[in-house]
Amino acid sequence: MFGGTSLNLPPGIPYGFGSEEHDMVCFRCGECCIKYHVRLNLVEARRIADELGLAFNDWLGRYTDKEWQRDESFVLRWRNGECIFLERVKGSNKTRCLIHEVKPEVCKIWTPSLNRRECQRGLVMYWRLTVSPFEELEGRKENLRDFYSFLKSLEFSKNP
């Protein structure tokens, strides 16, 4: 804890609490895009290439790791230690996926959670918040307030 308090989420915060996993909305820290390499199949690769308006072979050369290319399986390239399609939003604590509308299935099924180390790391790095043994967010009141305000702002956003 960062010398603050522990609070449950106030009403109106877009969390899906109530499950055993304490699932929550993605707060766009990008930690999962830093920790894991994204594998995709041929159909997903072609869909992304089409969305970007690129010839498939050009897309493969630009965006996939040549060492991991197989006939029907690919891994997205990393840039600066993170997924090549992760963009850091300047002046904020969030990131965005540049291919969100056509992102691979492995990205779609990722479930943020207070129990996930990646999400906990993002909370510490960007919000200076921790998760208590009781799965409550802990930190300074102003950090908690800012984080809750940020979560509310995500309700109006299209690109998680």
Tell whether the torsion through CA atoms of 156, 92, 150 and 22 is positive or negative.
positive
Same structural domain, 62 and 47: yes
Q: Token digits for 115?
A: 């129990």
Identify the pLDDT of residue 11.
Answer: 44
Residues 6+ apart with CB under 8 A from 46: 56
Identify the pLDDT of residue 56.
Answer: 95
Amino acid at 102: V
Same structural domain, 40 and 96: yes
Same structural domain, 95 and 132: no
Same structural domain, 11 and 60: no
pLDDT digits (tens, 9 = 90+) for 72-111: 899 999 999 999 999 998 888 788 999 999 999 999 998 8
Same structural domain, 74 and 85: yes
pLDDT digits (tens, 9 = 90+) for 116-146: 999 999 999 989 999 998 888 899 999 999 9
Same structural domain, 94 and 130: no
Identify the pLDDT of residue 3.
Answer: 45
Same structural domain, 93 and 75: yes
- Edge to edge, the sheet with strand 137-139 lists 5-7, 137-139, 130-131
Identify the pLDDT of residue 12.
Answer: 42
* Residue among 120, 18, 1 nearest 9 (CA): 18
Structural domain range at position 6: 1-27+112-160
Same structural domain, 69 and 42: yes
What does pTM read for this prediction?
0.76
Separation in Å, CA 127 to CA 35, 37, 88, 123: 19, 25, 15, 5
Identify the pLDDT of residue 156.
Answer: 58
Q: Which of the two residues, 54 and 152, has the higher pLDDT score?
A: 54
- What span, in angstroms and rounded, lies between the C-alpha atoms of 78 and 76? 7
Same structural domain, 40 and 10: no
Same structural domain, 71 and 12: no
Q: How confident is the model at residue 157 (pLDDT cuts 50, 70, 90)?
A: low
pLDDT digits (tens, 9 = 90+) for 47-73: 999 999 999 999 999 999 988 777 789
Same structural domain, 103 and 41: yes
Q: How many domains does the chain have?
A: 2
- What span, in angstroms and rounded, lies between the C-alpha atoms of 53 and 155? 30
Identify the pLDDT of residue 84.
Answer: 96
Burial, 81: exposed, middle or buried (Cβ in 10 Å; 0-12, 13-18, 19+)? exposed
Cβ pair 112, 119 in contact under 8 A? yes
Same structural domain, 65 and 95: yes
Q: Token digits for 156?
A: 């109006």
How many Cα atoms within 13 Å fall on the side-chain side of residue 42?
A: 3
Identify the pLDDT of residue 63.
Answer: 96
Q: How confident is the model at residue 153 (pLDDT cuts 50, 70, 90)?
A: confident
pLDDT digits (tens, 9 = 90+) for 7-45: 455 444 434 333 444 457 788 899 999 999 999 999 999
